[in-house]
Structure 1
Amino acid sequence: FPQLSGGVTCVATTKGEGLCYGDSGDPLITGGEVCGLAIAFRRCGDKRYPALFTDVHYHRAFISRAVLTLDKGKPKKPRG
């Protein structure tokens, strides 16, 4: 991967399982807490290459604003 920007974490696994197609958005859990979300990998399921995860803590302000915005909008009942 090229140089990483802020808010991205590079993670390797010790179990030999890497990310693959359909894994985007899967959580990275450490100490029982979600600390990242899967965003990219180099080769499907290849333990030799680390995967990239968004850093949830880095993006916490955006996440908090998004959740507040969603909480304000109540679903409308369908007409009929």
Structure 2
Amino acid sequence: MKKIAYVLMGFYLFLGSNAMALNMQEQTIVRAAANAALGNQEGLKKALIEGLDKGVSINEFKELLVQVYAYCGFPRSLNA
């Protein structure tokens, strides 16, 4: 009985971990935000192009840059 419980618990945890995973668009947004926060212009450019190819909207990237401005400061946002 314990074995069945462990198998079911493992299966439940496996399904739960997949539900919390980021999709490709979200991964690209995170990559763009990290590059913008670090001031890495080349990495940001690549992430923006990749994001547009994967379906991220321009408005989402605009909002990302507003958040970088708010939390990382104006000079970082200006460079991004």
> Above 0.5 in TM-score?
no
* Structure that is richer in helix per residue: 2
TM score, norm. by length of structure 1: 0.28
Rg larger for: 2
TM score, norm. by length of structure 2: 0.28
